[in-house]
Amino acid sequence: MRKMHLAVRATAAVAFPGGFGTLAELFEVLTLVQTRKGRSIPIVCVDRDYWTRAINFDLLLEAQVISPADFQLLRFAEDAEGAWQELAAPGIQTANARPILRASDEGIGPWVMPSGTGAAEMGDGCVASSRADRRPQGSP
Protein backbone atom coordinates (compact mmCIF):
# COMPACT_ATOMS: atom_id res chain seq x y z
CA MET A 1 0.00 0.00 0.00
CA ARG A 2 2.78 2.42 0.93
CA LYS A 3 4.69 1.73 -2.32
CA MET A 4 1.53 2.43 -4.31
CA HIS A 5 1.17 5.83 -2.63
CA LEU A 6 4.87 6.50 -3.24
CA ALA A 7 4.50 5.73 -6.93
CA VAL A 8 1.21 7.56 -7.45
CA ARG A 9 1.85 10.74 -5.45
CA ALA A 10 5.54 11.40 -6.05
CA THR A 11 6.67 14.36 -8.12
CA ALA A 12 10.21 12.97 -7.90
CA ALA A 13 12.04 10.13 -6.17
CA VAL A 14 15.34 10.38 -4.32
CA ALA A 15 16.97 7.15 -3.13
CA PHE A 16 19.75 7.18 -0.55
CA PRO A 17 21.86 4.07 0.13
CA GLY A 18 19.70 1.45 1.78
CA GLY A 19 18.72 -2.19 1.86
CA PHE A 20 16.06 -4.38 0.29
CA GLY A 21 13.20 -1.98 1.05
CA THR A 22 14.98 0.93 -0.60
CA LEU A 23 15.84 -1.25 -3.61
CA ALA A 24 12.21 -2.40 -3.88
CA GLU A 25 10.92 1.17 -3.76
CA LEU A 26 13.50 2.39 -6.28
CA PHE A 27 12.73 -0.41 -8.73
CA GLU A 28 8.97 0.02 -8.27
CA VAL A 29 9.14 3.69 -9.27
CA LEU A 30 11.76 3.07 -11.97
CA THR A 31 9.70 0.27 -13.54
CA LEU A 32 6.53 2.37 -13.59
CA VAL A 33 8.37 5.24 -15.28
CA GLN A 34 10.20 2.92 -17.70
CA THR A 35 7.01 1.13 -18.79
CA ARG A 36 5.07 4.41 -18.91
CA LYS A 37 2.52 3.05 -16.47
CA GLY A 38 3.41 5.88 -14.11
CA ARG A 39 4.19 9.55 -14.59
CA SER A 40 7.61 10.47 -15.90
CA ILE A 41 9.34 11.84 -12.79
CA PRO A 42 12.98 12.53 -12.02
CA ILE A 43 14.69 9.71 -10.12
CA VAL A 44 17.90 10.58 -8.27
CA CYS A 45 20.21 8.08 -6.57
CA VAL A 46 22.47 9.65 -3.95
CA ASP A 47 26.03 8.26 -3.76
CA ARG A 48 26.79 7.00 -7.27
CA ASP A 49 29.58 4.72 -6.00
CA TYR A 50 27.14 2.88 -3.72
CA TRP A 51 24.47 2.46 -6.39
CA THR A 52 26.84 1.36 -9.16
CA ARG A 53 28.36 -1.24 -6.84
CA ALA A 54 24.98 -2.42 -5.48
CA ILE A 55 23.46 -2.64 -8.96
CA ASN A 56 25.66 -3.57 -11.89
CA PHE A 57 24.16 -1.19 -14.44
CA ASP A 58 26.99 -1.92 -16.91
CA LEU A 59 26.08 -5.62 -16.89
CA LEU A 60 22.40 -4.81 -17.44
CA LEU A 61 23.33 -2.60 -20.40
CA GLU A 62 25.80 -5.15 -21.86
CA ALA A 63 23.22 -7.94 -21.55
CA GLN A 64 20.73 -5.63 -23.26
CA VAL A 65 18.12 -6.22 -20.57
CA ILE A 66 17.89 -2.45 -20.18
CA SER A 67 18.45 0.11 -22.89
CA PRO A 68 20.62 3.22 -22.64
CA ALA A 69 17.35 5.20 -22.55
CA ASP A 70 16.25 3.14 -19.51
CA PHE A 71 19.52 3.92 -17.74
CA GLN A 72 19.10 7.61 -18.52
CA LEU A 73 15.94 7.61 -16.39
CA LEU A 74 18.31 7.68 -13.40
CA ARG A 75 20.25 10.69 -12.21
CA PHE A 76 23.04 10.54 -9.67
CA ALA A 77 24.18 12.93 -6.95
CA GLU A 78 26.81 12.69 -4.24
CA ASP A 79 24.77 14.23 -1.39
CA ALA A 80 21.36 15.68 -0.53
CA GLU A 81 22.29 19.12 -1.88
CA GLY A 82 23.39 17.54 -5.16
CA ALA A 83 20.10 15.63 -5.30
CA TRP A 84 18.21 18.89 -4.84
CA GLN A 85 20.24 20.43 -7.68
CA GLU A 86 19.34 17.47 -9.92
CA LEU A 87 15.67 18.02 -9.10
CA ALA A 88 15.78 21.80 -9.45
CA ALA A 89 17.76 21.80 -12.72
CA PRO A 90 14.83 20.72 -14.91
CA GLY A 91 12.52 23.05 -12.96
CA ILE A 92 10.57 20.36 -11.14
CA GLN A 93 7.05 21.59 -10.44
CA THR A 94 4.18 20.38 -8.32
CA ALA A 95 0.73 19.74 -9.71
CA ASN A 96 -0.30 23.30 -8.82
CA ALA A 97 2.77 24.72 -10.68
CA ARG A 98 4.60 25.97 -7.58
CA PRO A 99 8.28 25.05 -7.25
CA ILE A 100 8.93 22.30 -4.72
CA LEU A 101 10.66 23.40 -1.54
CA ARG A 102 13.24 21.37 0.29
CA ALA A 103 12.27 20.39 3.80
CA SER A 104 15.03 22.73 5.03
CA ASP A 105 13.26 25.62 3.28
CA GLU A 106 10.30 24.89 5.52
CA GLY A 107 12.52 25.12 8.60
CA ILE A 108 12.35 21.42 9.50
CA GLY A 109 15.83 20.32 8.44
CA PRO A 110 17.05 18.78 5.21
CA TRP A 111 15.44 15.61 3.86
CA VAL A 112 13.68 14.61 7.10
CA MET A 113 11.99 11.24 7.16
CA PRO A 114 9.53 10.25 9.88
CA SER A 115 10.51 7.28 12.01
CA GLY A 116 9.22 3.92 10.87
CA THR A 117 8.72 4.77 7.21
CA GLY A 118 10.75 4.16 4.10
CA ALA A 119 9.39 7.13 2.21
CA ALA A 120 8.42 10.65 3.10
CA GLU A 121 7.00 13.58 1.23
CA MET A 122 9.30 16.57 0.96
CA GLY A 123 7.71 19.86 0.02
CA ASP A 124 4.63 19.24 -2.12
CA GLY A 125 4.96 15.61 -3.08
CA CYS A 126 8.69 15.14 -3.67
CA VAL A 127 9.56 11.82 -2.08
CA ALA A 128 12.80 10.56 -0.56
CA SER A 129 13.45 6.96 0.33
CA SER A 130 16.20 5.75 2.62
CA ARG A 131 16.92 3.94 5.84
CA ALA A 132 19.81 6.35 6.42
CA ASP A 133 17.53 9.38 6.82
CA ARG A 134 15.26 7.99 9.53
CA ARG A 135 15.21 9.94 12.73
CA PRO A 136 14.47 8.33 16.11
CA GLN A 137 10.92 8.99 17.23
CA GLY A 138 10.67 12.34 19.01
CA SER A 139 13.89 13.74 17.53
CA PRO A 140 13.87 17.05 15.62
Q: Examine the pLDDT at 131 and tell me if it is beyond 60.
A: no
Tens of pLDDT, residues 12-49: 899 999 999 999 999 999 999 999 988 889 999 999 99
101 within 8 A of 123, measured Cβ to Cβ: yes
103: pLDDT confidence band, cut at 50, 70 and 90?
A: very low
CB atoms within 10 A of CB 14: 27
Specify if 137 maps to a domain.
no
Q: Which residues of 108-117 are buried (b: 16+ CB within 10 A; e: fewer)?
A: eebbbbeeee
The pLDDT of 113-138, averaged and rounded, is: 40
The stretch 96-117 carries a mean pLDDT of 38
Domain assignment present for 136 = no
For residue 139, being part of any structural domain is answered with no
CA distance to 27, 37, 51, 83, 107, per residue, from 24 (Å): 5, 17, 13, 20, 30
Evaluate whether residue 50 is within a structural domain: yes
In angstroms, the CA 58 to CA 45 distance is: 16
- The more confidently predicted of residues 109 and 11 is 11
CATH for 117: 3.40.50.450
* Residues in the chain, total: 140
Q: Looking at the 3D structure of the chain, how many domains does it have? A: 1
| Residue 48: inside a domain | yes
The single-letter code of the amino acid at 31 is: T
Give 102 or 78, the one with higher predicted confidence.
78
